Amino acid sequence: MNITIFCVGKVKERFYRDAIAEFEKRLSRYCSLKIVEVADEKTPQDASDAIEEKILEKEGKRLLSSFPEHIHLIALDLRGKSYTSEQFASHMSRLFVQGYSSIGFVIGGSLGLSREVLARVDEKISFSEMTFPHQLMRVILLEQVYRSFRINHGEPYHK
C-alpha cells in the first residue's frame, strides 16, 4: 500500500515537522508513505480575486505535474464528503480491496486548490467545516490515516 501526500508549500514550524515525522515513523508499519511538496506563491495582503486566481493556477499546475498517472487522488476540500474516523477507515479499506494500491491526498495552500486540480481528483473529502492552516492539515491527515490503519487491523486506538 502506497500513500502519497501532495502539498503546496513547505512546513516551516519545527513542532509541525516533529509531528509529521512521528506519524511517518508510525505509518511505516502499514504502508509506504511519501510526501511531495510543490512551491507555494506569495499572496499579497490585499490580493484581488484575479491575483488569487493566478496564484491558484500556478500552484495547481505544479500539483498537476507532480501526480503520477495511476493513483487514486483524494482532495481535502471544504465541500467534500465528511467521514467519522471509522467510516474513513472503512473507505480506505474498500479502496485497497478495489485494487487501488496507490492513494494520494492533495492539500492546497493558503488559498485552497485550483479548479483544474479539483477536476482531476477522484474524490473530495472534508475533515471539518472549519478552516485549518495547511501545515496543520498535514498532521491531522496523517493522524487519521494512521488511525484508519489501526482500526482496520483491529488494533486499539484512542476514541
Mean pLDDT of 122-145: 94
Instruction: Please report whether residue 157 resides in a domain.
Output: no
Instruction: Please report whether residue 105 resides in a domain.
Output: yes
Amino acid at 88: F
Q: What is the pLDDT of residues 15-57, one digit of tens each?
A: 999 999 999 999 999 999 999 999 999 998 888 999 999 999 9
C-alpha span between 117 and 61 (Å, rounded): 8
Domain that holds residue 48: 2-152
Ramachandran sector of residue 112 (left: φ over 0; alpha: ψ -120 to 50; beta: rest):
left
Instruction: Please report whether residue 159 resides in a domain.
Output: no
Kindly report the CATH number assigned to the domain that includes residue 59: 3.40.1280.10
Mean pLDDT of 146-154: 96
